[in-house]
Chain A
Amino acid sequence: MSPSPTTTEPSAPGTAPQRSPRKVSTPRRFTPRSPARVHNQQAKSRRRTLALLVLPSVVLLLLINAYPLVYAAFQSLHNGTLINTGDFVGLDNYKSVLSDPAFWEAVRFTAVFTVVAVLGSWLMGLALALVLRSDFPGRSVFKILLMLPWVVPVVVSATSWNQLLSTPQSLVPHISDMLGLGSPLFLADPTLAKITVILFEMWLNFPFMMLMISASLASVDHSVYEAARMDGASGRQQFFRITLPLIARSTYISWILMTIFIVNDFPTVYLLTGGGPESSTTTLVVLAYRAVFQNFQVGPGVAIAFLMTFTLVVISTVLYRQVRKAHV
């Protein structure tokens, strides 16, 4: 095949390479395309089509997620209301939030609430998942009943807990009184209210943990345990050396998810105690809600939400690194 008229002549040995001559307009000739070129063009076209098909979803996601996020950032830098944008105030909202003792009180309670509720629900879930691994009559019914706290709407659960705990005549204080332990004010005493809210959160979330751990345990090969037993490993050694490492990955993932759920959980606290008594059970999300919807201070409320998001991203990143380390 003759070289194309536009190609350059190879330089003679020992001479400097010549500059490419200017392209000369020549009549086009039909040249059959090579299979590789055709394939490349098809791939390009395919990529273009795929990009076009994905574009509406990307635009939609940007509108749904990015727009509110950007607008919220905008609001956190203004002193607006629910209706008006207000004036630009720079970082004043963040400064006022960070210098407010109520914010730090909420940070402390949110941290305790989250850590205890995540670990507590995980321990409950782990214990029940291990129980459910063994075969016993009525196991399926038991499993379904255990799922109820997670399935029942939180409004119903909160009302039920309120009925069980709130007044001195309610069932739990009544039983406590009959046992000679007095009639505890579960929702009226600040310390007891904190404990009650944490227990409620654990009760709501252990079924999720149980499911995650059950799924993880189901994938563990029983021959590993048989081998360990043959090597003389005790039940405790099997649990700490085999079971826990094998479910480590799902554990970290469930911790990440549960941390995000609990930090952002508004109804659980709000319905049971409203953040009280005297702010004792106010979490960051309740504080943000109060700022925006009770006090009409949109800027500080959104600033709290942003600080929460930032903290969650840091925590999730740290935990996600653990997930990667826990590769089995």
Chain B
Amino acid sequence: MTNTNASSPGCSRRRFLGLAAAAAASVPVTSACGSGTGSGASGKLKFWDMPWGTAAYNDVSKRIITSYKPTTGLPSASYQGIAWANFGQTFASAIASGTNPAVSTGGGFQAFQFAEQGAIAYADNLIETMKKDGFYDDFLPGTLDGMKTDKGYVAIPWELDAHVWWYNKALLEEAGAKVPTNWDELLTAGKALKKIGVYGFATAAGPGNSLAYETPMTMMIGNGGGLFDADGKLDVLNARNVEAIEFIKQLVGEGIVDPASVGYTNDNAYAQWSKKRYGLGNEQGGLAENVGGEVAKDLLVMSPIAGPHGDKGALVVENNVMMYKNTPSQEGSEALLLHWLKNMHQFWDQALVNGLPVLKSIAESPAFQKRPNYVKMVKEYQPIGTSYATRGKTIGGAQSKMDGNSAMYQFGQAVLSSKTDAKAALTTLSNALASLLK
């Protein structure tokens, strides 16, 4: 008979404790003997990827990674999708614990942030390789420059998140308004739309919605302003910025901005476009797809509008792919990244992403040319696009600190509020950013 009683002579208390002690002692031993999951010492090259589009995007991206055939001596690669929720923590914890990927996509300014902390492998060598095989020349003008810092290229861009002007053609026709080309016409169109119960300056500044600060940033950049001067120094209170924010305040005062939009999530804003309550506004490139339904066909991209001084500009954030210092093989990381870049055309071939391509070959492909809104974005917005650097080109890591910072959200909400004037809102932002960037 099998004895299962722990107190029986078959399994005495002393023996039980001895086994428990042995088991406890074996935990660190086993850990020490384990192969480890970090990219650092050995093993596969880990590629971490964000959900950039539909679920099919990650499937295709995974296929690209698994199709990677390393040359002799280089490690193979594995793919892992990472959720947007708390992604900053995910990457930071992985880097701190040495379990980071070798290569990854991520937040637009993540590479700058981690480069400042010494975790990023600069891509200068890869840029040289791309120059040699001609792939470098396929990048749209200016796109690679956005990744350049004093120490080198922090990453390679792969997609552009452009903020562009959209209008609902049917609503503008119904209101008898023409498509605006400058701020005065924007105001006129807004007033006309208001008469038919439609808002002419769409925005959303609710929980976690980056449009809160991207909309006023767009207006400041479009007026030749921005947050930094030509030397890369913080310059929030410049006259162009004040003028731009005062113009938004005027739109708020005229009832052209939805007063509830200060609390809107992305979904709330899409619902307003869908219900034909929004007729005109600055939004991300994928607006028509995100709104969907019958309205989508009426949503068209218009040309960039000129500010009162004739300036034109657009907020364009470059999403990028970065390499980490902690890798089984730097040569392997570069080979894997190049393989992914050379195959990413599949995302646009199958219309899986809403961002703009950085490669001429993709922008000129028949599949891409079938999407007129996107063609217009590449043709008219990409050349004038800039990130928060605007008039300065060397702010590097400052962008990562500003993007998503609470001061930026609060600034965006203050701009839409009738209680704060333009200078006060900009002063508060300036003080907060000065404290953040010191």
Residues of A near any B CB (own CB < 8 A): 49, 52-53, 56, 81-84, 162, 166-169, 185-188, 193, 270-279, 290, 293-296
Contacts and interface: CB of A to CB of B under 8 A. Distances in A.
A107 B192 CA distance: 45
Given A83-B95, A167-B272, A293-B86, A56 B24 contact: yes
Given A49-B13, A56-B20, A167 B401 contact: no
B424 to A, nearest CB: 12
Interface string B392-417: 00000000010011110110011001
User: Which has the most chain A C-beta neighbours within 10 Å: B86, B93, B262?
Assistant: B262
B436 interface: yes
Contact of A167 (B92, B96, B264): B264
Contacts, number: 101
A68 B189 CA distance: 57
B409 A295 contact: no
Chain A binding site: helix, strand, loop or mixed by DSSP? loop
A272 B114 CA distance: 31
Contacts of B88: 82, 293
Contacts of A279: 410
A200 B136 CA distance: 54
B17 interface: yes
A105 to B, nearest CB: 12
A82 B94 CA distance: 10
Contacts of B261: 188
B170 interface: no
B417 A290 contact: no
23 contacts: A49-B13, A52-B17, A56-B20, A81-B117, A83-B119, A162-B265, A166-B206, A167-B258, A167-B264, A167-B271, A168-B258, A169-B275, A188-B260, A273-B206, A274-B209, A274-B409, A276-B263, A278-B417, A279-B410, A295-B401, A295-B406, A295-B407, A296-B401
A201 B63 CA distance: 45
B263 A290 contact: no
B208 interface: yes
B17 A274 contact: no
Given A188-B260, A188-B263, A276-B207, 17 more contacts: A81-B117, A166-B206, A166-B263, A185-B263, A187-B262, A188-B259, A273-B206, A273-B207, A274-B207, A274-B208, A276-B205, A276-B409, A277-B205, A293-B89, A294-B405, A295-B401, A295-B405
Contacts of A81: 92, 117
A166 B275 CA distance: 14
B331 to A, nearest CB: 25
Contacts of B42: none
Given A276-B410, A277-B262, A167 B268 contact: yes
Interface string B355-378: 000000000000000000000000
Contacts of A169: 275, 277
A167 B262 CA distance: 10
Contacts of B382: none
A162 B413 contact: no
Nearest to A270: B207
A81 to B, nearest CB: 6
Interface string B264-288: 1100100110010100000000000
B113 interface: yes
A16 to B, nearest CB: 50
A304 to B, nearest CB: 13
Given A277-B417, A295-B406, A272 B207 contact: yes
A274 B265 CA distance: 10
B115 to A, nearest CB: 12
Given A271-B207, A274-B208, A294 B406 contact: yes
A242 B275 CA distance: 56
Contacts of A84: 117
Contact of B89 (A82, A186, A276): A82
B106 to A, nearest CB: 14
A274 B259 CA distance: 17
Contact of B263 (A52, A270, A273, A293): A273
A187 B206 CA distance: 8
A278 B95 contact: no
A84 B268 CA distance: 38
A162 B268 contact: yes
Nearest to B86: A293
Contacts of A294: 404-406
Nearest to A292: B89
Contact of B17 (A49, A162, A293): A49
A253 B353 CA distance: 52
B401 to A, nearest CB: 7
Nearest to A45: B13
A166 B93 contact: no
A166 B268 contact: yes
Contacts of A188: 259-263
B53 to A, nearest CB: 22
Contacts of A290: 406
Contact of A166 (B24, B264, B406, B420): B264
Contacts of A271: 207
A293 B400 CA distance: 12
A78 B406 CA distance: 22
A133 to B, nearest CB: 39
B324 to A, nearest CB: 11
Contacts of B93: 82
